Amino acid sequence: MLQEKTGNLKLGSIIVLFDREFGTLFFQDFRGYGNLLDDAEWLLERTPQRSWGFMIRPITDGERYILWIGEYGPHVNQIIREDIISDRNASFISKILFDHANRKISEKMVNKRITIEICKKLLKSKIVQDFKYYICPRKRFYESCPHINEIYRVLKEKYSSEEKVHYSLVAEVISEIKPCNDVIICPLLFPPNSFERIINLNEVLKMRKLGEIKIIDQNMVKII
């Protein structure tokens, strides 16, 4: 058991949950039993708004920064799988979390540096690599969905702003995107109603101030 190897390790006072449905949750100033599994399962018992995901916790062994990762499932307060990794990238993330716990870096900064995308890029953990969101988180979809700009670029290249376009042609362009590999349900692809997909796209375009899919009637739109 990994837990048997951690007797001399210092456990960090911050735990981060990456949840399939509820996104990223930070628990600061955490004081538990001083035992990785017991602390994790105690936290799960008191976090009803969760589904499936994993948590990370920074630990140190002397001057070495290490990262503990535990996977959990729905309806049970147990860790299913766990990893302890201490390579350069894991140490980098562990140190950031310790610095935040010690008030050396701001919450805004740690939120930028500790994301599921960064964890997937840096951490050699099957738990992390297997993780998928159930539905693309709203913040991610509106602020950083990589498909929005590409869809809009293709539409602007095909159609002028004065041209009336049947909504099915816009839906066809949307349907050609490749789904993200860490999301099960994409707001651009999942709705069975094509018009709803266009509405979802349009909301993001307007929020980012890129442009607009202007609805003319029940069949036609303009690409503004």
Distance CA 184, CA 91 (A): 30
The verdict on 9 and 120 lying in the same domain is yes
Q: Are residues 83 and 121 in the same domain?
A: yes
Both 72 and 113 in one domain: the answer is yes
Tell whether the model's pLDDT for residue 86 goes beyond 70: yes
Q: What is the pLDDT of residue 53?
A: 94
CB 135 within 8 A of CB 109: no
Domain closes at, from 106, 131, 156: 131
Residues 10 and 119 in one domain: yes
Query: Can you list the positions of beta strands (E) in the chain?
Result: 10-11, 15-19, 23-27, 53-61, 64-72, 79-85, 133-135, 165-166, 183-185, 213-215, 220-223
- Same domain for 116 and 150, yes or no, is no
Domain with 168, as residue range(s), is 138-223
Q: Could you give the number of structural domains in the chain?
A: 2
Average pLDDT over residues 169-194: 91
- Cα dist. 15→27, 97, 116, 192, 195 in Å? 5, 9, 14, 38, 41
39: confidence class by pLDDT, cuts 50, 70, 90: very high
Domain check: are 184 and 207 in the same one? yes
Domain check: are 174 and 158 in the same one? yes
Q: According to the model, what pLDDT value does residue 174 have?
A: 95
Residue 1 has pLDDT above 50, yes or no: no
Is the pTM higher than 0.95? no
Beta bridge partners of 10: 60
Do 20 and 73 lie in a common domain?
A: yes
**What pLDDT score was predicted for residue 30?**
84
Domain boundary among 94, 115, 131: 131
What φ, ψ does residue 11 adopt, rounded to 5°?
-90, 135
Q: Label residue 7 by pLDDT band (50, 70, 90).
A: low
Flag whether pLDDT at 17 surpasses 60: yes
Q: What is the mean pLDDT of residues 54-64?
A: 94
Please tell me whether residues 57 and 146 are part of one structural domain.
no
Q: 195-216 pLDDT, tens per residue?
A: 999 999 999 999 999 999 999 9
The percent of residues in the chain predicted with pLDDT above 90, rounded, is 63
Q: Are 43 and 13 contained in the same domain?
A: yes
User: Does the pLDDT of residue 28 top 90, yes or no?
Assistant: no
pLDDT score, position 4: 47
Task: Render pLDDT for 88-124 as a digit per residue (tens, 0 to 9).
Answer: 999 999 999 999 998 899 888 888 889 888 999 999 9
